[in-house]
Chains A and B, each alone.
Chain A
């Protein structure tokens, strides 16, 4: 098994940093994004201590020199000044969509095979969310499109995008401001059910409204 956090220091494998000029200055750390099903999307750094250790190995934690920028314009990133929120074991109530008794709790709609058409049975669910977003204009959601595993990966990425886009258009037509809505297609890359049969496929063809 591969470790998820890989720190490579000079001398550990005989190749040294000379062959990898960017490893030392650039990106040694792995900020992991994890999700807690009970709280929608939550962000957490898996290994804050290692981050600091890595920074020490790279350049010294407190006074790190500026890292080499990414080679070309679009990828250029700012110097590493990092701040981090306090981690709290207390559950955070982010919004009514986390309350199982609230209609906003249902945030997933399902699709037929190879289509981005919204089924009539999901219209009330989408209207409920559209109404909430219409009155809570500071709330933003990501419409996450997914497909089942059949067919090619890039076609499915496009199909997931069309599903998310169909929901976006529905919500805009229902009065939601476009700025509140982002789309993200994962295609078949993030199945809800990793199985290979009809049942798995049915639960994987979906759009999730992520608050």
Chain B
């Protein structure tokens, strides 16, 4: 007799430990390294924020803002040691000093206690014109100070570029440590700068394909706990989760529709990998593709009208597009013999995908209007590209020093950064939407 490989239901219930976001101490963080491409960056000075007597702020606000701005590849913050003076109030500012240092912009600010927390105020100056571009104050708890700094960075970024910033967003990713069978796989969520990484799922079996809900409050993912693939949707604040697909065969590639009411996915319950859409309200499951080839990796257009996906129906993996209601599909990728895992930019005008070039797997940006393709990465096994919600950067997985790490590249070619952990592999990054 064969031995039953599946866990009895009660053990299955306990096959996993998870913690809600907001629970547990901050764990291993991702270390960020800016790896180049800042020549065209604008010079900006973010002066260390002033404090009222005796106050020691829990976070160096100016340092966090500077790092956030530098990471975008659009700004080159002035090192503190090069500053001639350190004003924190309007009356202390002499813009000629900053003009002398070649600065385009200047940020000053103060941290004061308010109630049980803090009030953080800041002013952004245009050094050339000599005027204030923005001045505002935010109330923050002690624990929320880094986030407050990210929000200020985003306000500055938006004022200076005309585009919303993404410093206050998050990334979800998978980590793996230890060898094959004995390894621990986790799904984690950190701030966009790699800080405050928290494990939300931990398992001895693979976890794959994290996908954000459009409101940034839930993650869908594939877990192999119980020795079969299943798709879960987990609420970040509470750790509660819901099993949404556990059919025979594969249950993969979850992707929320832009309205958050439907989940596209790949199932092979009918004998072959096909794309389905599950209505999360009615639980109705609709099959969209019907082909003996592989159809997988569905991604929604920003308006929810189209779904693009990977299919090898033409003999090699390529990207196809169909209506999100199903129907005929047309091929939309033409360069190269391997194109997969495509997703739309937030404005819907381009897609990012994995392409094979001379045997190397790289991240490429395809302009849908002009059919123009540009490589964003130069590794050999790059994968899992994910757009920042403002479309300015793409985060992806790559191998560096023989280890899985994450990297981010500016879509305009301006900046690059690398995110790694001290130990273990990091992979499958998913950039969150804007989080309020």
Contacts and interface: CB of A to CB of B under 8 A. Distances in A.
A126 interface: no
Contacts of B434: none
Interface residues of B, number: 84
B11 A154 contact: no
Contacts of B294: 155, 158-159, 162
A62 interface: no
A144 B16 CA distance: 22
B205 A33 contact: yes
A40 B238 CA distance: 38
B361 to A, nearest CB: 7
A127 interface: no
A102 to B, nearest CB: 15
A4 B180 contact: no
Nearest to B222: A157
Interface string B244-288: 101011101100000000000010100111000000000100000
Contact of A27 (B2, B14, B354): B14
A161 B383 CA distance: 20
Interface string B145-182: 00000000000000000000000000000000101111
B199 A150 contact: no
Contacts of B229: 157, 184-185
Contacts of B246: 74
Nearest to B206: A189
Contacts of B423: 1
A10 B236 CA distance: 19
Contact of A8 (B23, B312, B399): B23
B331 interface: no
A139 B316 CA distance: 37
Contacts of A150: 361, 381
Q: Of A74, A161, A211, which is in contact with the most chain B CB atoms at under 10 Å from its CB?
A: A161
Interface in A147-206: 149-155, 157-159, 161-162, 165, 182-187, 189-192, 194, 196
- List 9 tightest A-B contacts by C-beta distance, closest first: A75-B243, A189-B206, A158-B273, A29-B14, A152-B341, A158-B294, A152-B340, A158-B296, A20-B20
Interface of A: 1-2, 4-8, 13-15, 19-23, 26-35, 40-43, 45, 51, 67, 70-75, 77-78, 80-83, 94-95, 114, 138-142, 149-155, 157-159, 161-162, 165, 182-187, 189-192, 194, 196, 210-211
Interface of B: 1-3, 5, 7-20, 22-25, 27-28, 177, 179-182, 184, 186, 199, 202, 204-206, 208-209, 222, 224, 227-229, 232, 238-244, 246, 248-250, 252-253, 266, 268, 271-273, 283, 294-297, 310, 312, 316-317, 338, 340-341, 354, 356, 361, 381, 383-384, 399, 402, 423, 428
